[in-house]
Amino acid sequence: SDRLQAERDRHWARYEGQARMWGGQNRLAADAIELFQDERKMVALGSVSGLFFEAPKDEKKMEAGKPEEQKPEGQKPDEAKAEEPKPASAPRAVTVTAERFTYWEAERRGLFEENVKARNDFGVLTAPRLEVFLTAGEGSGSESLERARAEGGVLIEQPDGRATSEQADYRAGEQTVTLTGGPPKVVDAERGTVTGAQLTLFLSDGTIRVNSDEGTRTVTRRRWTR
């Protein structure tokens, strides 16, 4: 940073002018960053930009959450083709911009507020508030983004579609986004509109699970990637 203010009695410090913080691979930048040692809290103010690497995908949870595949008639379970091991994927990251960010170290919880935009390879999310939850890294590794919750009117945009809802819950390990309130709606240029009481987007394959008063159904669309 360009300037530093500190008060020993308060265990407080403020960095101003191109303030930067690092935590392993994760990054945070803002016009000013304040540290409150006693409260184990950090507040970033003005032109906030954060980069968070995601927790690894949990293949078991991803498969468990998906609707079951229909096997050809007469096929026995042991006749199904064995899956080949998948190569390890590169770490995924989310970039978030906002005007204010508060982080509580003890809870590993952060809150972005005002003009929030989050960018990931599934698209761009816009919302008034975005809460992020981190998980401790293995060994000496840095914390990773485990899940996030956007509130207050959510818009997710892609080149050929968009999704809207009142809330959106993202789980990195499962690669899902659950939309509720509004009611939630997904508009696709090719497949039209999908709506229901709750929509769960499976980002890995484009499946949407629709929960409504009529029950649960599954819609298949293009993958949620840019």
What's the whole-number average pLDDT of the chain?
A: 85
Residue 170 lies in a domain: yes
Element (H, E) at 186: strand 185-188
Its pTM stands at: 0.82
Q: Which domain holds residue 205?
A: 3-66+92-220
Least confidently predicted of 9-18, 78-87, 164-173? 78-87
Residue 71 lies in a domain: no
- Residue 226's pLDDT band (cuts 50, 70, 90): very low
Q: Could you tell me if 185 and 195 are in contact, meaning their C-beta atoms sit under 8 angstroms apart?
A: yes
Q: Does residue 73 belong to any structural domain of this protein?
A: no
Task: Decide if 81 is inside a domain.
Answer: no
**Residue 28 C-alpha from the chain's centroid:** 16
In a domain, 202, yes or no: yes
Residue range 7-22: mean pLDDT, rounded:
92
Residue 212 belongs to a domain with what CATH number? 2.60.450.10
